[in-house]
């Protein structure tokens, strides 16, 4: 089952990306998290017809891609999950909202078309922003940032542990599905007769394993919270970066910058 090995490959890929080094990687994780959230909120809050205003928001991901050296290709690969949903909702707009909104060389463009494109751009932009966050920040750093935001330790520890164990689990599921397929040629998935036992077997084994894991943690003095790996210091520069970014996002959201820019020339 291709998607299983694809998933474990994706995990490894993200791990490797976040282990690289760049000015963005070195930023304090909390700053990155907040900037990303500010960006997404600004992008999503654009009115549905304000296509030109939204266009300027492309600069942030483009800049971060370049500064961090993360290949854009890896991101577009991930669009395949979100885009169909956004498109499905967006594609209907041109059918319902037919009032012409603007004219390009005498050709009327309906509000639905504009809002569809706006919606798709919003989808792509917000996805790129969260992709860039996770591609430049390790899960440990992110968890440390979440703790700084006072997200409960239980939840953060659970996130970290689950993340650790997903790669082990995916590996086991991959081995099991391979073993299944080798004895069941031509089947597309798991037959109904083994629906329960297939995942159930793994579940029982995993429960024992969870116990052993927890014991091994306890034996080494675990009291319910991890010490997160050292985070880059929250320098004045990082704070300035955060403030400037947020201010620019708000500015871009309040004023239709491309429109103003265009007015200078037209």
Partner 1 sequence: MHMADALLAPAVAATMYAATGVAAGVSIKTLRKDENTQKLPTMAVASALVFAGQMINYTIPGTGSSGHLCGGMLLTGLLGPQAGFLSMIVILAIQALFFADGGLLALGANCWNMAFYGCFVGYYLIWKPVMHSKLFGKSGARTAGRLKIALSSILGCVLTLQLGALSVVLETSISGITELPFGAFVAVMQPIHLAIGLVEGLITSAVLIFVYETRPELIMDADTSGDAVRSKCSLKTTLVILAVVVAVVGGGLSLVASGNPDGLEWSMFGNAESGYSENMGLDEENYGVSSTAADTAASIQEKTAFLPDYAFANSDSAAGTTVSGLVGSAIVAALAAAICFAGGFFRKKHKKAAAKA
Partner 2 sequence: MIEFQNVSFSYESGTPVLQNLCFSIGAGEAVGLIGANGAGKSTIMKILLGLLPCEGGVTVGGLAVKKQNLGEVRKKLGFVLQNSDNQMFMPTVYEDMMFAPRNYGLSKEEAEARVDRVLSELGLTELKHRYNHKISGGEKRMAAIATILAMEPEAILMDEPSTALDPVNRRTVIRAINGLTMTKLIASHDLDMILDTCDRVILLSHGQVAADGPAGEILRDKALLEANRMELPFCLAGPSPRQ
* Residue from 20, 23, 66, 71 in contact with partner 1 (CB under 8 A): 66
- Residue pair 112/95 in contact (Cβ under 8 Å)? The answer is yes
* Contacts (CB under 8 A) with partner 1, residues 4-63: 4, 7, 10-11, 14, 36-37, 40-41, 43-45, 48, 51-52, 55-56, 58-59, 62-63
Q: Which of 10, 253, 213 is nearest to 122 (CA)?
A: 253
Choices 77-85, 97-105, 195-203, 220-228 (CB under 8 A): range interacting with partner 2: 220-228
Q: Is 246 in the site for partner 1 (CB under 8 A)?
A: no
| Residue 252: other Cβ atoms inside 10 A | 22
Rounded distance between C-alpha atoms, residue 153 and residue 136, angstroms: 23
* Residue from 19, 182, 192, 236 in contact with partner 1 (CB under 8 A): 192
**Residue closer to partner 1, measured from CB, 19 or 236:** 19
Q: State the DSSP H helix or E strand holding residue 237, giving kind and residue range, or none if neither.
A: helix 236-254
Torsion on CA atoms 59, 65, 66, 70, rounded to nearest 10:
-170
**Which distant-in-sequence residues (6+ apart) come within 8 Å of 155 by Cβ?**
none
What's the min distance (Å) between Cβ of 238 and partner 1? 20
What's the min distance (Å) between Cβ of 133 and partner 2? 18
Choices 97-105, 107-115, 159-167, 246-254 (CB under 8 A): range interacting with partner 2: 159-167
Q: State the DSSP H helix or E strand holding residue 161, giving kind and residue range, or none if neither.
A: helix 153-183
Residue ranges binding partner 2 (CB under 8 A): 12, 15, 138-140, 161, 164-165, 167-168, 209, 212-213, 215-223, 226-227, 229-230
């Amino acid at each position: 089952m291709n998607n299983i090995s694809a998933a474990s490959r994706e995990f490894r890929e993200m791990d490797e990306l976040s282990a690289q080094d760049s000015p963005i990687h070195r930023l304090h994780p909390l700053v990155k998290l907040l900037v990303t959230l500010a960006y997404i909120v600004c992008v999503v809050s654009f009115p549905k017809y304000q296509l030109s205003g939204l266009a300027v928001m492309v600069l942030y991901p483009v800049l971060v891609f370049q500064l961090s050296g993360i290949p854009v290709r890896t991101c577009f690969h991930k669009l395949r999950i979100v885009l169909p949903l956004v498109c499905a909702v967006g594609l209907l707009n041109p059918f319902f909202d037919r009032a012409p909104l603007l004219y390009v060389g005498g050709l009327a463009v309906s509000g639905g078309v504009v809002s569809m494109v706006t919606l798709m751009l919003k989808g792509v932009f917000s996805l790129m922003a969260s992709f860039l966050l996770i591609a430049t920040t390790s899960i440990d750093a992110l968890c440390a940032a979440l703790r700084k935001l006072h997200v409960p330790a239980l939840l953060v520890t659970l996130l970290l542990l689950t993340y650790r164990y997903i790669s082990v689990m995916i590996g086991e599921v991959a081995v099991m599905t391979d073993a299944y397929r080798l004895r069941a040629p031509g089947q597309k998935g798991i037959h109904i007769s083994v629906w329960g036992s297939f995942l159930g077997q793994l579940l029982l084994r995993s429960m024992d394993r969870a116990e052993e894991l927890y014991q091994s943690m306890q034996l080494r003095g675990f009291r319910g919270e991890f010490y997160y790996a050292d985070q880059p210091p929250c320098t004045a520069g990082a704070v300035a970066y955060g403030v400037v970014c947020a201010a620019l996002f708000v500015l871009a959201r309040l004023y239709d910058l491309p429109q103003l820019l265009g007015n200078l020339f037209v």
